[in-house]
Structure 1
Amino acid sequence: MQENNLEKENVKEELETSSEIEETTEEVVEDNVTDINDKLEENKLREELEALNDKHQRLQAEYANYRRRTNEEKETIGLFANEKILNDIIPVIDSMERALEACDDKEGSMYQGIDLVYKQLQGILTKYGVEAIEAENADFDPNLHLAVMQESVDGVEANKVVMVLQKGYKLGNKVLRPSMVKVSC
């Protein structure tokens, strides 16, 4: 009987130990599951944060590009807003140049008055960034010159401007009026 009692006690102890092991195992498993869930949540949050940071940086870059483009457009609009009036002033300057050439008395008050107005008009063009296209003895460029005549000239290579018939003007890189020229052939 004593053996039987011993066996029962051993079984009882084993059961208790087994229960303790099960409880400990369950606690460890629960702790591990909690740790894994916390790490998964942490990784998920980190990924979301990285995605939001990336989105924020892209928005900042887009906004910076937008500001740069609008500033460039404003400058361009400002530069070319006066294009129409500048185109209207150019024929007046041509007339003033013809009047200066027609004056015989270069010291007379008429010549000086016309010259003064001519210089004021030139100042207006310069103020707004308009410049004359240099064409005399230059290579013919169809973007800047309008060839209305061709002539074979000794000692001058082909496609050289030999005479400017009417001055051309440009505003920045934009041609307001091409130079009317005679070109060697």
Structure 2
Amino acid sequence: MSLDKEKDILENLDEENKENQKNNIDSEADEKETEKVKNEDGNCIGCQEREDNKDESEEIEKYKKEIEEYKNKYLRITADFQNFKRRVEKEKSDLYKYGSEKIIVDILPILDNLERALQSAEDAEDNKGLRDGIEMVYKQFKDVLQKHGLEEIDCLGKEFDPNCHHAIMQEECEDKQSNSIIEVFQKGYKLHSKVIRPSLVKVAK
């Protein structure tokens, strides 16, 4: 074989090697480009990003709902606490105002007896000293009770009120307005505007 022919063969082989190397490089580049586009599962990266964004949006909505639920729960608890606080304050106020109610109710019959004793003493002219003594005790006793919130119910001549009066008799009276109180058998009392004993009365028909 001549030298020129061998040279041509070597040049052809060299050209083929260069072409193969170029093809290999292009193939590797294509594979790398494909790997950039696809992830390990073979899915499109853009598609995966959209899926990730969707998951994040759903997660955000979930947290928003939870925050709203906690907010509503907080508002309900706050409202319940305010109602509880007002109720406790009212109970404390009522306890202060009406804590003495039971003992005052028990004392009222004594006040009634002092009034009866005073009326009896007024008829006895020779017992002026006794009458004055009873009147003084009665006045002091009543002043102390009034100081603690006791108030006598004014009812004679007034219209009958079932919230304050208890009718035990009715009587035909042409000169009196119907349903008006014409006689009081037992005085009624309030404690700080609360009726603790209704008046026992006679009512005109």
Aligned counterparts of 1:41 and 1:138: Cα–Cα separation in 2:
73
Mark the structure with the bigger radius of gyration.
Answer: 2
Describe the superposition over 1:47-66 as per-residue Cα deviations: whole angstroms up to 9, x where unpaired: 11111111111111111111
Q: Does 1:152 align with 2:167?
A: no
Query: In 1, distance between residues paired with 2:204 and 2:51?
Result: 91
Question: CA offset at residue 161 of structure 1?
Answer: 0.5
Deviations 1:133-167 (A, max 9, x none): 11111112233223233332232122111121221
* Deviation digits for residues 24-59 of structure 1 (CA, Å, limit 9, x no counterpart): 982222222222222222221121111111111111
Name the aligned partner's letter for residue 87 of structure 1: V
Partner of 1:3: none
Residue in structure 1 matched with residue 19 of structure 2 by the alignment = none
**In 2, Cα distance between equivalents of 1:31 and 1:109:** 109
Alignment map for 1:1-185 (pairs within 5 Å):
19=34, 22-23=37-38, 26-104=44-122, 109-172=129-192, 174-185=194-205
Deviation of residue 21 (structure 1)?
A: 8.0
In the TM superposition, what whole-angstrom CA distance separates every residue of 1:82-109 from its partner, at most 9, and x where no partner exists?
Answer: 222111211121122223333346xx55
**What TM-score comes out, normalization by structure 2 length?**
0.69
Percent sequence identity over aligned pairs: 35
Considering only aligned residues, what root-mean-square deviation do their CA atoms show, in Å?
3.1
Q: TM-score, length-normalised on structure 1?
A: 0.76
CA displacement, residues 100-136 of structure 1 (integer Å, 9 cap, x when unaligned): 333346xx55444333322222223223322111111
In the alignment, structure 1 segments of 5+ residues that lack a partner are 1-7
Instruction: Please tell me the residue identity of whatever aligns with 2:102.
Output: K
- 1:17 Cα shift? 10
Query: CA-to-partner distance for each residue in 1:158-178, whole Å, 9 max, x for gaps?
Result: 211112122111234543222
**One-letter code of the match for 1:147?**
A
Residue correspondences, number: 176
Q: Could you list the runs of 5+ residues in structure 2 that have no partner in the other structure?
A: 1-22
